[in-house]
């Protein structure tokens, strides 16, 4: 779990990208991500094309600094839509 957590902290990645980087099965990573989402330890930053599969996927991060940036962006966007 520590290797997966560290991989998501280094850079926002898809589960498949982390699976290839760490050698850990994607099914296990999926379980870890679900657990960390309940704990608030991981957030999905964006949807984009996975560099491995070339399909749309979620890019996740465990980096708290990126959580704050995401929160600030969401606040800004919600404020702009109210105008």
Give the pLDDT confidence of 32-75 residue by residue, as tens digits: 999 999 999 999 988 999 999 999 999 999 998 887 777 777 77
Quickly tell me which residue has 């997966």 as its tokens.
4
With a threshold of 0.85, does the pTM exceed it? no
Hey, what are 48's tokens?
A: 């984009």
Domain boundaries of the chain, sorted by first residue: 2-82
The angle subtended at Cα 66 by Cα 37 and Cα 33, nearest 5°, is 20
The CATH code of domain 2-82 reads 1.10.10.10
């Amino acid at each position: 779990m520590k290797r997966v957590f560290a991989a998501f902290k280094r850079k926002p990645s898809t589960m498949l990208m982390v699976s290839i980087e760490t050698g850990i099965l994607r099914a296990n990573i999926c379980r870890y991500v679900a657990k960390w989402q309940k704990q608030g330890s991981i957030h999905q930053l964006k949807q984009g094309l996975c560099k491995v599969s070339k399909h749309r996927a979620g890019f996740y991060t465990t980096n708290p600094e990126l959580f704050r940036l995401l929160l600030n962006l969401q606040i800004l966007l919600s404020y702009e839509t109210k105008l």
